[in-house]
Amino acid sequence: MKYLIAGLGNIGAEYAGTRHNIGFDVLEEMTRSSGTSFRSDRYADVAELRAKGRHFILIKPTTFMNLSGKAVRYWLDQENITIDRLLVVTDDLALPFGKIRIRAKGSDGGHNGLKNIAELLRSETYARLRFGIAGNFQRGAQVDYVLGKWTDEERTILPDRLQKAASACISFGLAGIQTTMNQFNNQ
């Protein structure tokens, strides 16, 4: 059984370590703990890992955040994976820092990456893991905040939260969406 885990972010060194790239960071954590690594491929950097008979295709779209749907659609088609085996990992301003919220479907919530995925898949019925980045910014400073680096305090907590999110991604494939929501949404 194959699963596609798409971590959203922006390519380029200037975006590394920013709040908006948390989707990339979660997938990097997954490869660190499994000993695999990413390779450049069409529309994405791609890694593969196996866990208990499940095959996970991890993608970090190289299309930039607002065009993430192109990579997601391509890799679903390329690997012959159905939309119910797709999990998208993204940042969320509405959640407290480090909080994980997993849903089986939903709206884009104003997130342009999710909006583009829904447009190209013609569906909002795909699982998503939202990673809270909080909304600690002045009015009009949202772009600077999401493209900003983590604070020193956040950086000390981040490794634990990345491990939890990576575990939730594996749980999605092993235990299913409902069990994963029950286990991780209240942590």
Cβ atoms of 45 and 38 within 8 Å: the answer is yes
pLDDT digits (tens, 9 = 90+) for 106-119: 988 888 899 999 99
Report the pLDDT value the prediction gives residue 171, as an integer from 0 to 100: 97
Cβ atoms of 27 and 89 within 8 Å: the answer is yes
Positive or negative, the Cα torsion across 5, 62, 139, 17? Answer: positive
Report the pLDDT value the prediction gives residue 64, as an integer from 0 to 100: 82
- State how many domains the chain has: 1
CA dihedral 186, 5, 103, 142 (to 10 degrees): 90
Residue 110 vs residue 63, higher pLDDT: 63
Q: What is the mean pLDDT of residues 63-73?
A: 93
Report the pLDDT value the prediction gives residue 140, as an integer from 0 to 100: 77
Report the pLDDT value the prediction gives residue 83, as an integer from 0 to 100: 97
What pTM, to 2 d.p., does this model score? 0.95
Report the pLDDT value the prediction gives residue 75, as an integer from 0 to 100: 98
Range of the domain at 76: 2-184
Find the CATH number of the domain harbouring 138.
3.40.50.1470
pLDDT at 99 over 90: yes
pLDDT at 40 over 90: yes
Structure token pair of residue 1: 């059984």
Alpha-carbon separation of residue 80 from 74, 142, 169 (angstroms): 10, 37, 19
Query: pLDDT class for 35, splitting at 50, 70, 90?
Result: confident
Query: pLDDT class for 167, splitting at 50, 70, 90?
Result: very high
Q: What is the mean pLDDT of residues 9-26?
A: 93
CA distance 108 to 126: 11
Using alpha carbons only, how large is the chain's radius of gyration in Å? 15
Residue 137 vs residue 80, higher pLDDT: 80
Q: DSSP string covering 20-88, please?
A: GGHHHHHHHHHHHHHT---EEETTEEEEEEEETTEEEEEEEESS-GGGHHHHHHHHHHHHT--GGGEEE
CA distance 94 to 96: 7
Q: Which of 4, 18, 20, 100 is catalytic?
A: 20
Active site residue 55: no
